[in-house]
Amino acid sequence: MRADRLVAALLLMQNRGRVTAAELAEELEVSVATARRDLEAMSAAGIAVYPQPGRGGGWSLVGGARTDLSGLSATEAQALFLLVGPAAAVSGEARAALRKLVRALPQTFRADAEAAAGATMVDPTRWGERDRDRPGLVDLLQAAVVRRGKVRLTYTSGARERTERLVDPWGLVDKDDIWYLIAGTERGQRTFRVDRIAEAELTDEPAERPDDFALAAAWERVVGEVEEKRSRTWAIVLIEARFVPVLRNQFGRHCHVEGELDDGRARVRLASPTPLDVARNLAGWGAMVEVVEPRSVQAELARIGAELAGRYAAVTAGPATR
């Protein structure tokens, strides 16, 4: 749910004591279904919001009506900031809401709330991978980051090597529904894909984290290293401008429009690790895409085309089938 709606819903409930989904929808100018989902999301996150069935029912905060957020417990504050924190990484209004929430909390809760807010971030830019369900271990790892406790992981690498590691969890990043854990290890900072973590156990050992650690800056360095590997081969292609969004969805951040031609086509710069990777992604477009350069990608497309022509020559030469 959006951070501004979360804050507004909490303040409204604390002011009135009890609200229905219809009342909340009217106040926030959203559908009743959206308001109900927001209430259920807060309840599922651990915030003390509960429904009261029957006539005169609705949704209330445990403890009754309040005029500010200072009645939240430490656990509730952490749950609240875990919801709002990722949105604050990409939304100005969410950052403003986060500052207001911090000021509204008792001094003893602020450190934990800020730690929860900084435990995760969202990188909205695609890397061209398909969407995935949220891994079940995200909640445990978030708690480990907030509590600053070491985590024992059973991890499967990209080479399918399975190892056990004891790490210091520093932060989590949600990149297009693929979650990553940034952690300290004996060999320094490492990044782990959460969907490759087979098991995770929060230990009683305190975790160490550099005083100057900033999740956004750490992730920027990770992205830079990955992008360097993923963009070793660049190609210039021409394609009808109306198909550029499809091409961008295929190549993610490695798709840059350089301009449009008089014939309605766009000049686009694409990248992949190797010429073969570029060619494989473009082969399905057929003559709809023209590769201007480099010759290495043109050669790979020609080879793929020749392979396909050879494989299916008999089909095209034979009688038509119905």
**75-100: per-residue pLDDT in tens?**
566 566 666 665 555 455 555 656 66
In the predicted model, what is the mean pLDDT of residues 112-125?
A: 62
CB atoms within 10 A of CB 208: 10
One domain for residues 167 and 250: no
Q: What is the pLDDT of residue 169?
A: 94
One domain for residues 60 and 22: yes
Quote the domain boundaries for residue 301: 231-311
Residue 223, in any domain of the structure? no
Considering 186, 214, 242, which residue would you say is the last residue of a domain? 214
Q: Which of 38-47, 129-138, 207-216 has the lowest mean pLDDT?
A: 129-138
Cβ atoms of 15 and 65 closer than 8 Å: yes
CATH of the domain at 165: 2.30.30.520
**Which DSSP letter does residue 129 get?**
P
Q: Which of 136-140, 259-263, 271-275, 299-303 has the lowest mean pLDDT?
A: 136-140
Residue 47, in any domain of the structure? yes
Q: What is the pLDDT of residue 101?
A: 64
Q: How many structural domains is the chain composed of?
A: 3
Cβ atoms of 267 and 257 closer than 8 Å: yes
Pairwise CA distance, residues 182 & 222, whole Å: 9
CATH of the domain at 235: 3.30.70
Strand order in the sheet with 49-52: 18-19, 58-61, 49-52
**Which DSSP letter does residue 252 get?**
G
Type of residue numbered 45: A
Alpha helices in 132-271 (DSSP H): 138-147, 215-230, 244-251
Q: Give the chain's radius of gyration (CA, Å).
A: 25
Cβ atoms of 171 and 118 closer than 8 Å: yes
Cβ atoms of 241 and 205 closer than 8 Å: no
One domain for residues 296 and 207: no
Pairwise CA distance, residues 255 & 123, whole Å: 17
